[in-house]
């Protein structure tokens, strides 16, 4: 039972990541490989506010979101000038820089040692200490975030983002302020990703930079691509599939020495097969070409 | 001279040392159809890109309704009332025809996420008005049965009509039309020309890039002939089409 609850909590954390990345990738058409950076910055800022200033988890999160939104400008500004592959490279650079800072700013982040002993969230005297309570806490955030994106995807805002994805020039000729809309998309997408970071830190009670690497960004992106981008159900199906898949592989009884490698190979093969036969993902609308 | 809606003064634009547009001055009268003709690479499309802000002038000035616009970004120029259709159409492929037209409507504050989330009533109210409006324009170009089709699934001619209905829904005053009838069936071309004439009769102004001499003679009030980045001749369609230089450039030496 605890095992299943653990998986459900991880699904909730990744749902928030994939739904938020979907706004940037699937709607706005900006292929970002920096989502784990925002996930990590969210985790670290919330943790540091809790540990160093003694703030409550929820207050710390409330401060973290706008700060991460501001940091997202570092990714959205390049998106105004760089097209296609060049933007992808810029996001990879950002991801690598964030990882280096987390790894090397030892006086603040303790670098590779990580930060242990993070408190579980407390709300009105109730401590989310047990697995079921943490599951419901993460579920609560998923529902809020899910509703937010359900509304945004369907709104005129979501539609104009799709127009930018389809044809930026045409959108400009129609009077759409493409630059400001791209910035909005990144502000919201990255700001929401920080919620996942806080939830992860509060759940695992220990964070270190290796949870927020480039590989993690690639993993979040592959959730969106495997599930399918540009609609609501794609990222949900992708998250469930990609989080459960390694757990199923666990039951294959592979020797520990090769299991992680086999897992990576299966991911790679899966992406290639999807790209060839189903470029829009399992349930998506938009395909990258 | 307040019947001049768009004034281009000494516009110059060069790419890698070659002047694509070289000291062009033009006036466009309100409520008229002005054609720009000339051989390929004469600078016609570049001129359109300069007017709607996709390219910035190296030299010269552009005034719209007396206001200088050549330093504005493209989206702002569109909001001032200059609409455009492209030679290569540029519909939003993975979006339905109805949404394509809805996007053209400039009056939807819900395109800002904060408004969309927190002023839902206002957004939804506007949305239902805009949907009615968009349906009207789709009906106007005979695409009512394609409302829910993705734009990429429409035929070439239908996409052309869709781009015209987007132009209508945008409520622009000045229309930049880059070869509006190129590549479509003659009967559809007739419909498109009819729509353009109708719009101009309702007080809009059109600037048309066109190659077909018959069409130019039929619709234009005034014609500019461009060659190698310069305006080499202008006048009423009759005089321009009779001009020997124009004939030479078109028929070839």
Chain A touched by B187 (CB under 8 Å): no
Burial of residue B121, with CB atoms counted within 10 A of its CB: 0-12 exposed, 13-18 middle, 19 or more buried: exposed
Count of H-run helices and E-run strands, chain A = 12, 2
Please give the C-alpha separations between residue B106 and each of A143, A189, B30, B79, in angstroms, as whole numbers.
33, 25, 22, 7
Q: Do A155 and B117 touch (CB under 8 A)?
A: yes
Cα(B20)–Cα(B37) distance, rounded to whole angstroms? 15
Q: What's the rounded Cα separation, in Å, for the pair A161 and A23?
A: 8
Q: Which one of B84, B116, B126 would you mutate to disrupt binding with A, by most A Cβ within 10 Å of its Cβ?
A: B116
Closest CA to A220 of A7, A3, A83, A26: A26
- pLDDT tens-digit map of A105-148: 988 888 889 888 888 888 888 888 898 999 999 999 999 999 99
Q: How far off is chain B from A21, nearest CA to CA, in Å?
A: 16
Q: Is B127's CB within 8 Å of A174's CB?
A: no
pLDDT tens-digit map of B163-199: 999 999 998 999 999 988 888 888 888 888 988 998 8
The answer to whether residue B147 neighbours chain A at the CB level (below 8 Å) is no
Q: How many angstroms separate the CA atoms of A202 and A115, rounded?
A: 12
Cβ atoms of A227 and A235 within 8 Å: the answer is yes
Print burial letters for A25-60: b (CB count within 10 Å at least 16), e (below 16): bbbbbbbbbbbbbbbbbbbbbbbbbbbeeebebeeb
**Are A175 and B170 inside 8 Å of each other by CB?**
yes
> Is the CB of residue A46 less than 8 Å from the CB of residue A61?
yes
Please tell me whether residue B175 adopts helix, strand or coil conformation.
strand
Residue of chain A whose Cα is closest to the Cα of B76: A175
Kindly report the backbone phi and psi dihedral angles of residue B202, in degrees, each rounded to the nearest multiple of 5, phi listed first.
Answer: -80, 10
Contact A167 B52 (CB under 8 A): no
Residue A195 has pLDDT above 80, yes or no: yes
User: B111 exposed, middle or buried (CB, 10 Å; 0-12, 13-18, 19+)?
Assistant: buried
Q: Report, as an integer, the average pLDDT of A67-75.
A: 92
What does the alpha-carbon distance between residue B223 and residue A82 come to, in Å, rounded to a whole number?
39
Instruction: Show me where the domains of chain A are located.
Output: 2-211
Beta-bridge partners for B85: B177
Single out the residue of A173, A111, A273 nearest to residue B82, CA to CA. Answer: A173
> With an 8 Å Cβ cutoff, are B54 and A169 in contact?
yes
Confidence of residue B2 (pLDDT cuts 50, 70, 90): low
Q: Which domains does chain B have, with CATH numbers?
A: 1-81+172-253 (3.40.50.300), 90-171 (3.40.50.300)
Whose tokens are 């242990």? That residue is A116
pLDDT tens-digit map of B120-167? 888 888 888 889 989 999 988 888 888 888 888 888 888 998 999 999
Structure tokens at B5: 């809606």
């Amino acid at each position: 039972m605890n095992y299943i609850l653990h998986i459900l909590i991880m699904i909730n954390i990744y749902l928030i990541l994939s739904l938020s990345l979907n706004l940037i990738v699937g709607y706005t058409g900006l292929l970002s490989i920096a989502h784990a950076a925002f996930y990590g910055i969210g985790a670290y800022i919330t943790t540091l506010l809790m540990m160093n200033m003694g703030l409550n988890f929820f207050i710390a999160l409330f401060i973290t979101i706008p700060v991460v939104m501001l940091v997202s400008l570092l990714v959205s500004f390049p998106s105004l000038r760089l097209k296609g592959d060049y933007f992808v490279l810029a996001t990879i650079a950002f991801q690598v820089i964030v990882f280096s800072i987390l790894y090397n700013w030892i006086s603040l982040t303790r670098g590779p040692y990580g930060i242990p002993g993070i408190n579980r969230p407390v709300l009105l005297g109730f401590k989310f200490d047990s697995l079921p309570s943490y599951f419901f806490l993460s579920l609560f955030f998923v529902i809020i975030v899910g509703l937010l994106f359900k509304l945004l995807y369907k709104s005129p805002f979501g539609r104009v983002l799709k127009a930018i994805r389809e044809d930026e020039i045409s959108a400009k000729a129609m009077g759409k302020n493409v630059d400001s809309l791209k910035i909005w998309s990144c502000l919201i997408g990255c700001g929401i990703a920080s919620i996942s970071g806080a939830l992860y830190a509060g759940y695992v009670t220990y964070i270190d930079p290796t949870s927020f690497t480039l590989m993690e960004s690639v993993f979040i992106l592959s959730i969106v691509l495997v599930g399918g981008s540009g609609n609501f159900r794609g990222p949900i199906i992708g998250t469930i599939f990609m989080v459960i898949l390694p757990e199923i592989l666990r039951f294959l009884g592979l020797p520990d020495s090769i299991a992680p490698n086999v897992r990576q190979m299966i991911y790679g093969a899966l992406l290639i097969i999807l790209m060839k036969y189903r470029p829009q993902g399992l349930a998506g609308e938009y395909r990258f070409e | 001279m307040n019947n001049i809606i768009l004034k281009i003064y000494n516009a110059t634009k060069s790419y890698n040392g070659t002047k694509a547009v070289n000291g062009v001055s033009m006036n466009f009268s309100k409520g008229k159809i002005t054609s720009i003709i000339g051989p390929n690479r004469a600078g016609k499309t570049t001129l359109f890109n300069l007017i709607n802000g996709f390219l910035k002038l190296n030299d010269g000035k552009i005034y719209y309704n007396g206001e200088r616009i050549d330093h504005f970004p493209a989206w702002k120029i569109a909001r001032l009332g200059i609409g455009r259709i492209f030679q290569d159409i540029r519909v939003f492929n993975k979006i339905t025809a109805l949404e394509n037209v809805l996007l053209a409507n400039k009056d939807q504050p819900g395109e800002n996420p904060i408004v969309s989330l927190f002023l839902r009533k206002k957004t939804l109210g506007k949305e239902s008005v805009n949907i009615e409006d968009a349906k009207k324009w789709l009906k106007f170009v005979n695409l009512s049965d394609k409302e829910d089709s993705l734009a990429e699934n429409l035929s070439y001619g239908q996409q052309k009509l869709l781009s015209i209905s987007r132009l209508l829904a945008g409520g622009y005053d000045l229309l930049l039309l880059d070869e509006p009838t190129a590549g479509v069936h003659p009967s559809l071309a007739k419909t498109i020309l009819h729509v353009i004439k109708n719009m101009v009769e309702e007080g809009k102004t059109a600037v048309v890039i066109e190659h077909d001499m018959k069409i130019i003679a039929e619709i234009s009030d005034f014609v500019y002939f461009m060659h190698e980045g310069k305006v080499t001749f202008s006048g009423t369609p009759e005089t321009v089409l009779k001009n020997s230089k124009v004939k030479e450039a078109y028929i070839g030496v």
